[in-house]
Amino acid sequence: MKSSRLEAFSDGVIAIIITIMVLELKVPLDGSPKALLHLLPLFLSYALSFVLVAIYWVNHHHLIHLIRKVDGAVLWLNANLLFWLSLTPFATAYMGQTHAAPMSVAFYGTVQTTCAVAYAFLHAAIARQHADDDQFMARYALMLRKNRIAIAITAATIPAAYVSVRLAMVLIVLPAVMYFLPDRRMEMNEAT
């Protein structure tokens, strides 16, 4: 299997995940401003998830292009990442529907943590294919440290949700931005 096919399939799944979330915005039956305003938490959680999934899409692309061989490990760790990502529409609607009840925010944080861990596992499997490339492995070691900090912060949202929902929200957004924005060191690696 070529990595281009793995990428096309993953793209298809991510495109569906990002778009079906909007189906959870249940249409109000009356045309009053109140009915529409009632949907605001759901809308905001949709916007947040759209951005998070889009960041995964961009970074996934960079990762896929580092694959040397689509072996069993890469194939199934990629499927694993897609599985946890596919729970995002559910977690998003759950958080919006319950108006960010602590339980739902903790659940959202759990799904985000599993996605980040699944991404790190896929990243590690691809890095193993470059074990003979010292320059690559030096960069990967740097990233790995960063990844671990990011996962720790994301995981911290789970207990934080029961203390303060606002704090939990900050902890969800923070590492996503820091960790998942396309990494210049990765791009440099692609260029060389």
Task: State the residues that interact with a second copy by CB under 8 A.
Answer: 1, 5, 7-9, 11-20, 22-25, 27-33, 36, 47, 50-51, 54, 57-58, 61, 72, 75-76, 79, 82-83, 86-87, 89-90, 93-94, 97-98, 101-104, 107, 182
- State the minimum distance, in angstroms, from the CB of residue 1 to a second copy: 6
Between 24 and 133, name the residue whose CB sits nearer to a second copy: 24
Between 7 and 169, name the residue whose CB sits nearer to a second copy: 7
- State the minimum distance, in angstroms, from the CB of residue 97 to a second copy: 5
Between 59 and 147, name the residue whose CB sits nearer to a second copy: 59
- What whole-number distance in Å separates Cα of residue 158 and Cα of residue 179? 18
State the CB neighbour count (10 A cutoff) for residue 140: 22
Between 75 and 138, name the residue whose CB sits nearer to a second copy: 75
Handedness of CA 165, 17, 89, 40 (dihedral sign): positive
- State the minimum distance, in angstroms, from the CB of residue 51 to a second copy: 8
- In the numeric block, the tokens 């009632």 are attached to 38
- State the minimum distance, in angstroms, from the CB of residue 122 to a second copy: 14
Report the run of H or E that residue 20 belongs to, with start and end.
helix 3-20
DSSP characters over 48-90: HHHHHHHHHHHHHHHHHTT-S---HHHHHHHHHHHHHHTTHHH
Between 25 and 163, name the residue whose CB sits nearer to a second copy: 25
- What whole-number distance in Å separates Cα of residue 75 and Cα of residue 27? 38
Helices (H) and strands (E) in the chain, counts: 9, 0
Between 58 and 141, name the residue whose CB sits nearer to a second copy: 58
In one letter, which amino acid is 169?
A: M
- What whole-number distance in Å separates Cα of residue 85 and Cα of residue 112? 8
- State the minimum distance, in angstroms, from the CB of residue 134 to a second copy: 27
Tokens representing 8?
């096309």
- State the minimum distance, in angstroms, from the CB of residue 120 to a second copy: 20
